[in-house]
Structure 1
């Protein structure tokens, strides 16, 4: 299998004429931006493109093996990525932007770096130590594993898996088949799109808080438990029970085709109801195009001091102004309407 290698120690642009079906990026500090584009359009533009606009420290090694493209530091392997330590003490940073076919599979590993991945239809896997990740419009299976990094996912239609120690998960307009999330102290906000598939959500956390907004009408068997936290429920068909410190929300919404299971030890749980579109925008007036991709005020819960009383009213999620997701077409009383940020190409 033919292999080509470039050692990049200064800003550089590369174009790859041959097809790229798999991408792997591993960097320390800086930013990774991956954009999936229609293969025919990409071919007209000369093929997959890589731009390293900033780089400090050791060089990045760019390797093309068959149809697999890898951009990484030589001493930063994918295996045991989350346990990696920079034993040489290098000061390093890079800003990497890539445009690849939408059908490619993508692996991105970041240590102290931010990542934005958009428009990918193939499998996407993200590993991060303490860098935040934004996922937009992904159609394939998505797996994200972090130590302290937060993950925000918007309009993801594939299965989503998330594991973190203290990172938060925010999912906006989720239309995927299923969501599985586990954290130790990270919080989770999950917002399901109105016309999505049957609900299939399982989330677990020890001290994190959970807020889930369901479409109306919803269709799921619900079981939500907290050992010592509070609960909030916007559905008349669900029962709130429990004694002493433990509380639970149980019942069936609609035909009960889907499932929703949420468990936390000391965190709070809120089940919210998304208002019907006609109630929000008025009969005969279609919702604006941006409303389908960024519900009002959907945002990560942030830290507990600003979450305690948030999201108690019907259909409302927290809206801290500092949240990147809150900046995407939010229409709460304290935020002006803004268009969602898009990944640069």
Structure 2
């Protein structure tokens, strides 16, 4: 299939008749909104643009929206470059089964309704992921990530960005950060949960379903710990503290480590209980 190319220098709408199986969008400042649909084709709306034009290409099922000087490789080092001011507001509707790549520098991003693989790279700017069913890979420098109702495996790496997972039903969450905080609200899932979180100075809070099913190991070198589960033990000496034990049959895994941050394990109430029963019953040590 021959390549088709458009140069978008002003607000414009484009409809792509050829099927789209993959999307790659990279912008500087502004906002990106990607939504999955049940259609085979894609639509693009650029509602605002300042600076150099966006180059839009479609080839072999891949739709790309970016600048000529903004490659995916080495994306996270792009902020160091001296370039004229640019700003773009981009909205895309693509087939829900498409693979999606989003790169943002100083821009906010929202990705929703995608069943294919989603990969995110961000320098600054916050990202929201809603209702994603495929594997998610996210890497940021200082941008925060919020994932809501994400059922695929989630991998997150950041220097100072925070991670928030709401209504998390994915089987695997692995996150690493230097100073970012991590807050996870985990729904009950028929598959074993695999949660592994590591941060140097960030705080970690995890709310598990009740009853929960996991082997737990949570450690902090100098932070406080809070535990809402009677089946877990809080121990340690000097400044270091840890929470260990088994919840339910122990088929899942939960491992959380922070050097100077605090760790809190909270309990989700059963559906019929009052919402205030979710408050931790353990003491902060």
TM-score bucket of the superposed structures, by smaller chain: over 0.9
- 1:313 paired with 2:280, answer yes
Using the size of structure 1 for normalisation, the TM-score is 0.79
Deviates more, 1:87-96 or 1:179-188: 87-96
Residues 226 and 280 in structure 2, CA contact (< 8 A), matched pair in contact too: no
Distance in 1 (CA, whole Å) between partners of 2:190 and 2:108 is: 29
Q: Does residue 159 of structure 1 match 2:153?
A: yes
Q: Which residue of 2 aligns with 1:267?
A: 261
How far 1:111 moved relative to its partner? 0.1
Counterpart in the other structure of 2:12: 12
Q: 1:280-320 CA distances to partner (integer Å, 9 max, x unpaired)? A: 37xxxxxxxxxxxxxx9xxxxxxxxxxxxxx96359xxxxx
- By how many angstroms is 1:255 displaced? 0.4
1:123-161 deviations in Å (ceiling 9; x for gaps):
000000011000000000000000000000000000000
Give the Cα separation in 1 of the matches to 2:64 and 2:78: 18
| CA pair 117-8 structure 1, distance change in 2 beyond 3 A | same
Give the deviation of 1:171 after TM superposition.
0.2
Q: What pairs with 1:1-345 in structure 2 (closer than 5 Å)?
A: 1-38=1-38, 42=39, 47-85=41-79, 87-195=81-189, 197-280=191-274, 313=280
CA RMSD of aligned residues (A): 1.5
The 3-state SS of whatever aligns with 1:82 is helix
Number of aligned positions between the proteins: 281
Cα pair 2:197 2:256 within 8 Å, conserved: yes
**1:120 aligned counterpart, secondary structure:** coil
Secondary structure of the residue that 2:272 maps to in structure 1?
Answer: helix
Which structure shows the higher strand fraction? 2
Q: Is the 8 A contact 1:156 1:176 kept in 2?
A: yes
Q: Structure 1: give runs of 5+ residues left out of the alignment.
A: 282-295, 297-310, 316-345
8 Å Cα contact 1:82-1:129 kept in structure 2: yes
**Deviating 4+ runs (over 2 angstroms):** 85-89, 194-197, 311-315
TM-score w.r.t. the length of structure 2 is 0.96
CA offset at residue 197 of structure 1?
A: 2.8
**Distance in structure 2 (CA, Å) of the matches to 1:141 and 1:26:** 20
Residue 89 to residue 175, structure 1, CA distance change in 2 (3 Å): same
